[in-house]
Amino acid sequence: MIPFLDLKRVNAPYMQAIEEAAIRVLRSGRYVLGNKVDEFEKSFAAYCEAGYCIGTANGLDALTLILKAFEFPEKSEVIVPANTYIATVLPLSFLGLTPVFVEPEEVTMLLNPELIADKITPLTKAVITADLYGRSCEMARILELANGYNLKVITDAAQSHGATYHGKKTGSIAHATAFSFYPTKNLGAFGDAGAIVTPDKELAEKIRYLRNYGSIIRYQNQFQGMNSRLDEIQAAVLNVKLPYLDKENERRRQIASRYLTEIQVKNLILPPADRIQEDAWHLFVVRHPNRTALIAFLEANGIQTDVHYPLPIHKQEAYKEYRNLKLPVTKKIHQEVLSLPLNAVLSDAEVAYIIQTVNRFDDQT
Ligand SMILES: Cc1ncc(COP(=O)(O)O)c(C=O)c1O
């Protein structure tokens, strides 16, 4: 069986260095906000070609902290993509802000910039873009619109470490960008971890307080903050892995490129191939009207797949007040998508087998 993602194999090349780095932290006596976090924040800010990085406990908190720092009044509206993981939207609910769902483009499955303007009201304060599957959104158009209406642009880059848009790294484009280092991500820790990256010095400073109870000087609290700090062991792991992120993304691009040129199946829609070298290929998401049969066929032939995601946010019990929204593109995408295995440790033989097997799928519909 080719597993969808084997984390043990993904981390194997770095295991010795990670074990040594983790043991050094364990023996150091300094476990939270020490020099491993400092080192990671500096190198990840530099990697993203952005000014500042603040480590957090996870990606959900990173988004929450950005929104908290902007201090939008309660009931302010924030434009969000209707096709995304629920973590893009939950922080709005924590802070009494209203999500305004916008349909994706059919081809990229990412926030459709052409549909944003119609949703802007006097209450709108921000747009959140989500770089789903490792691809940056149409940021030029979105920034132009946002600047015209004086809106903040926040990017959820939990899936797009190392991706670029017109040559600019995710993290250097929006007013603030949230990253997750959940173990399955392109840059994954050995537990939960996240970060905020921003070119805005003042915002970075405020978030630095907010992630630590609103405090920088011990027992002096400037703001009502959260406890969302990146811990030293996770930072040590990330320090070992960050130098290899570009090489791993390059391998992902090679595999994506082969899938895009060699997979050919009736009724199967491949992801867009116009930015192979810019996308981070966190996931390789194809669409098929008979997804269930394709998943079963691949499983029977030893290939595990996954679905990102089976049910849109507005159809989740947690957001039942939005269940009557009409979002046909979002609905269709959630019925048809499936993700093929794509990660830096797949061998050429496995890639070839996946291509041959997908191409053997005989759609009976
Ligand atoms: C698009 C997206 N946003 C946000 C998150 C939240 O990150 P975390 O799990 O680190 O809180 C994730 C990953 O889980 C994600 O895929």
pLDDT tens across 215-272, in order?
999 999 999 999 999 999 999 999 999 999 999 999 999 999 999 999 999 999 999 9
pLDDT tens across 54-113, in order?
999 999 999 999 999 999 999 999 999 999 999 999 999 999 999 999 999 999 999 999
Give the whole-angstrom CA distance, residue 127 versus residue 125: 7
Q: Catalytic residue numbers?
A: 185
The chain-wide mean pLDDT, for the chain, equals 97
Would you state the structure tokens that stand for residue 53, as one six-digit string? 């990085």
CB 168 within 8 A of CB 174: no
Identity of the residue numbered 134: G
| Ligand 1-lining residues (CB < 6 angstroms) | 58-60, 84-85, 87-88, 130, 156, 158-159, 180, 182, 192, 194
Q: How does DSSP classify residue 181? A: -
Residue located via tokens 């892995």:
241
- Ordered by start, the domain boundaries in the chain are 7-242, 245-360
- The residue nearest atom 7 of ligand 1, judged by CA position, is 59
Axis-axis angle for helices 35-47, 232-241 (nearest 10): 40
Would you state the structure tokens that stand for residue 356, as one six-digit string? 């041959």
pLDDT above 60 for 153: yes
Q: 245-360 sits in which CATH class?
A: alpha beta
- The residue nearest atom 4 of ligand 1, judged by CA position, is 87
CB 170 within 8 A of CB 318: no
Q: Distance of CA 308 to CAs 25, 85, 272, 285, Å?
A: 35, 8, 17, 8
Give the whole-angstrom CA distance, residue 62 versus residue 177: 8
User: Separation of 86 CA from ligand 1 center, angstroms?
Assistant: 8
Beta bridge partners of 71: none
- Please count the other Cβ atoms lying within 10 Å of the Cβ belonging to residue 30: 11
Pocket test for ligand 1, best of 133, 177, 182 (most atoms within 8 A of CB): 182
CB 126 within 8 A of CB 151: yes
User: Separation of 219 CA from ligand 1 center, angstroms?
Assistant: 31
Give the whole-angstrom CA distance, residue 26 versus residue 162: 30
Q: Under DSSP, is residue 127 helix (H, G, I), strand (E, B) or coil?
A: strand
CB 153 within 8 A of CB 127: yes
pLDDT tens across 268-318, in order?
999 999 999 999 999 999 999 999 999 999 999 999 999 999 999 999 999
- The residue nearest atom 8 of ligand 1, judged by CA position, is 59
User: Separation of 264 CA from ligand 1 center, angstroms?
Assistant: 31
Pocket test for ligand 1, best of 56, 58, 86, 180 (most atoms within 8 A of CB): 180
Contacts of 191 (CB under 8 A, 6+ apart): 183, 233, 234
User: Separation of 157 CA from ligand 1 center, angstroms?
Assistant: 9
- What CATH fold (topology level) applies to the domain 7-242? Aspartate Aminotransferase; domain 2 (3.40.640)
